Amino acid sequence: MNDPVVERILNMMEQRGISQREMAALLGISEGSFSKWKNQGSKSYSKHLGQLSKILNVPISYLVNGDLDGDRKGAELMYSENTRNMIRMFDEMNEKEQQFFLEMMKQFKMSFDESS
């Protein structure tokens, strides 16, 4: 039986269209190191769980034990790629930038609603 953590990582990668080569590059590791995870040769993925969580946009608790009640709810797994990208960008902003972004989105929605 395969490692369930690796299975969840691979499943999320497939859902997000991330190749093994891309994931290895995003994590700053070799493809060979990543292959060892798949082939049960290494559990060194544990030191990358934080990065994997961010890249795959799922809570660490989901990767470790399948628990979707972590920081992000399971519904987020169903978001479109555009929505996930917007969430990632928002998470990378500082608080001032986030407030500005939210205000701009409110204004955009109001003007869009008025023109409809």
pLDDT value of residue 65: 81
Whole-model pTM over 0.85:
no
Q: In this structure, are 9 and 63 located in the same domain?
A: yes
pLDDT band at 62 (very low <50, low <70, confident <90, very high): confident
What pLDDT is stored for residue 23 in this prediction?
93
Domain that holds residue 60: 1-78
Whichever domain contains 74, its CATH number is: 1.10.260.40
Quick one: 91 and 42 in the same domain?
no
Mean per-residue pLDDT, 57-84? 68
- The pLDDT confidence band at residue 75, using thresholds 50, 70 and 90, is very low
Nearby residues of 30 by Cβ (< 8 Å), 6 or more positions away: 24
85 & 103 share domain: yes
